[in-house]
Structure 1
Amino acid sequence: MIKRLFDIVCAALGLLLLTPLLVAAALWVKLDSPGPALFRQTRVGRHGVPFTIHKFRTMRVAPGAAITVGADPRITRAGRWLRASKLDELPQLWDVLRGVMSLVGPRPELPHYVVLYPADLREQVLAVRPGITDPASLAFSQEAALLAEAADPEREYREVILPAKLKLSAAYAAKASLLTDLRVILRTLVRVVRS
């Protein structure tokens, strides 16, 4: 209850205070390449319920792999900056406000990756609302660069990175509290400022 109230207050304030930045980012995305300002995708949420996640579009509208590897040529000029600063995630404040996400929680995955979760970890990770940030996101902030070094990026993600992220997400879900959330938010803000 306290976590949800904290999410609502912070998301509402964030959307209100960051409106000029959100509008500027949306205009930049639109002017930089053809396509919508927002990217929408189906992810798996709490208790396995699918939902639509929102981000600023950082890639050209074209078919391609589900994962981003290194300096992916699909990434736009605006997209490079938005990804580096993590500002592409800001539209998810709306997802927090509407109750399908939290500020802090395991990052929501695509359905075809969720089916790979071991049953025990699946139940634990999906017991909480997915978040904009979490310990796994911080630990793997350079995920695209790691995948670029792999001979088979998709296999590397499925067999190495995803299991490691799942363990971190399960550990978070097991001890989630407002205090742990505040710590993760602080670490995230420090990372954003440094980037």
Structure 2
Amino acid sequence: MTGYRGKRCLDLLLGVPALVVSLPVQAAIALVVRGKLGAPVLFRQRRPGLHGEPFEMIKFRTMLPVDADRGLVSDESRMTGVGRFLRATSLDELPTLWHLLTGRMSLVGPRPLLMQYLDRYSPEQARRHDVRPGLTGLAQINGRNAIAWEDRLRLDVEYVDTVSLRLDLRILARTVGQVLAREGIAAEGSSTMPEFTGSAGKEKS
């Protein structure tokens, strides 16, 4: 299952204009990031896409490089004021609009997480990869990073089972409100989201 008929058309219909309109904003952000954080401007990382196939996701950098001598080790210590603002407003995500053109991502779907998490999912949780990852999703409008991993992954699978045009439009509309309200940016006690170490109910091999 990869979604309903016309899902790809919706991605291009809304994504291409959004990308074009955002280009001047992206250029301005790139200059700010270059001036405040230095090079590179973009953060690049391999993430699992449809069926777990890896792709290189790009975002604007929000953190300083790891530097143990300066005490820059944890995410919290490496996060900058500019980075916090970009994350709070989701402006760091604008470069991911390019992935809509390549078909690596969809407007709506489970967020692409880390490659090392693939072996930590239960078989049920792994079904989140049965659709393309999204810029936003059902978990993002129900708490974003502020909800527990079990709830987040359950919502991802629920999306896979109920994906429809109506659901996607509802998620997109609620995402706008959530971004404006700057809700659920980080889990309690974390600058983003704590590491997923595995499901409590996962069977051991």
- TM-score category (smaller protein): 0.7 to 0.9
Corresponding residue number in structure 1 for 2:175: 188
The yes-or-no answer on 1:174 pairing with 2:161 is: yes
Shift of residue 194, structure 1, vs aligned partner = 2.3
Shift of residue 77, structure 1, vs aligned partner = 1.9
How much is the aligned-residue C-alpha RMSD, in angstroms? Answer: 1.6
The yes-or-no answer on 1:165 pairing with 2:169 is: no
Shift of residue 129, structure 1, vs aligned partner = 0.1
Corresponding residue number in structure 1 for 2:14: 10
User: 1:51, 1:87 → 2: CA distance?
Assistant: 21
User: 1:172, 1:80 → 2: CA distance?
Assistant: 29
Confirm or deny: 8 A CA contact 1:55 1:89 kept in the other structure. Answer: yes
Long gaps (5+) in structure 2: 68-72, 183-205
Confirm or deny: 8 A CA contact 1:32 1:77 kept in the other structure. Answer: no
Corresponding residue number in structure 1 for 2:88: 84
Corresponding residue number in structure 2 for 1:139: 142
The yes-or-no answer on 1:125 pairing with 2:128 is: yes
Question: SS at the partner of 1:43?
Answer: strand
Confirm or deny: 8 A CA contact 2:124 2:157 kept in the other structure. Answer: no
Confirm or deny: 8 A CA contact 2:45 2:57 kept in the other structure. Answer: yes
Say how many residue pairs are matched: 173
After TM superposition, list the pairs within 5 Å mapping 1:30-41 onto structure 2. Answer: 30-41=34-45
Shift of residue 142, structure 1, vs aligned partner = 4.7
Which amino acid letter does the alignment assign opposite residue 167 of structure 2? T
Shift of residue 62, structure 1, vs aligned partner = 1.9
Confirm or deny: 8 A CA contact 1:34 1:61 kept in the other structure. Answer: no
Question: SS at the partner of 2:121?
Answer: coil
Which amino acid letter does the alignment assign opposite residue 135 of structure 2? I
Long gaps (5+) in structure 1: 147-160
Question: SS at the partner of 2:144?
Answer: coil
TM-score scaled to structure 2, two decimals?
0.79
Corresponding residue number in structure 2 for 1:105: 109
Shift of residue 37, structure 1, vs aligned partner = 1.3
Corresponding residue number in structure 1 for 2:77: 73
